[in-house]
Amino acid sequence: MASAPNLQFKFVNYTGLEEGPSVIIMGATHGNETCGTEAIRRIMAELDSGERKIAAGSVTFVPVVNPLAYFKNERNGDRNLNRNLFPKVDPQDFEDRIANWLCPLLAQHDVLLDLHSFNAAHGEPFVMVGPVNNEGPLEPFKHAEQERALARRLGVRRFVTGWMAAYGGGVQRRSRGNAAELETVLRYGVGTTEYMRTTGGYALTLECGQHVDPKAPQVAYDAIVNTLAFLKLIEAPEPEPVPFEEMEALHMVAVYDKLDAGDSFSRTWASFDPVAEGEQIGTRADGTPVLAEFSGRILFPDAKAGANSEWYYLTRANPEFGRG
């Protein structure tokens, strides 16, 4: 870290003359995911030149959330910022220091758009969306209608829900029954959007494409413009929602663990590859085949996962998304 020059945190705010929501838009939460950074700098240049203006409400841009990871051009500085994102009384690493700056900033806003990219060699953009309205202990929420309406106007057609429930199910399965330990590990699943929801706001993570896909910055830029237009921060036509018949909505149902370092996939899987019920996904170290429990799509397969950690998720269609 000592070799990284001038590490500091930066945000830029534009506030209109009229009342409106407070929006925060972020890039490079992971340092090698720079499409959001490019798009944010592009829209800021338009605002600075007068080509666009914020007419109502306010927008805060954070072009580079994790400057250490960005400097290294790697996913993380010291660790994954998008896990265990809470203020820390005694920060232990660089990401803890980011959290102590970022979490109060998030809490000052109503809406978060966090712009990411993914490592898979192929795949289309998708958006991670929060839970339905609920008062449960895992992820209570009351803005599902607004969050999903915004998600359908970002310019992508694929939507994924169920992160915390699927992640929490895996944690509970691995837990030894210690309630304090369970709560600690569940907190590890909290990233930028989950933290934003704990503050009373709503939030979306947009995966704009593969890391080096030249189209990804345009996906991010279009999503920013659509967000500002839909929330009426800029004077522009309201973007139309993606039609229901063009949407692919998926719900994360379950996470499957790698139990032994010798567990292996049957082939190279990529997120959103279809799987059929009974299809072989991998093989345990003792030779037992790992079969799909139901038909759906695989998500976040991690061939390099360690023993007793997340290996892959399975999703199934969520036809009710956006209709309730």
Q: How far, in Å, CA of 184 to CA of 88, rounded?
A: 13
| Token pair for 49 | 């030149």
Alpha-carbon torsion 99, 30, 272, 39, what sign?
A: positive
Q: What distance lies between CA 3 and its chain's CA centroid?
A: 29
| pLDDT category of residue 178 using cuts at 50, 70 and 90 | low
Q: Which residue has the tokens 């993380």?
A: 76
104-151 pLDDT, tens per residue?
Answer: 999 999 999 999 998 876 789 999 999 999 998 888 999 999 999 999
Question: 77 by DSSP, 3-state: which?
Answer: coil
**Nearest-CA neighbor of 126 among 115, 141, 110?**
115
Q: What is the mean pLDDT of residues 154-159?
A: 97
Q: How confident is the model at residue 305 (pLDDT cuts 50, 70, 90)?
A: confident
Contacts of 80 (CB under 8 A, 6+ apart): 30, 95
Mean pLDDT of 66-91: 94
Residue 322 has pLDDT above 80, yes or no: no
Q: Is the pLDDT of residue 2 over 50?
A: no
Q: Taking a C-beta distance cutoff of 8 angstroms, is the pair 168, 188 a contact?
A: no
The pLDDT value given to residue 1: 43
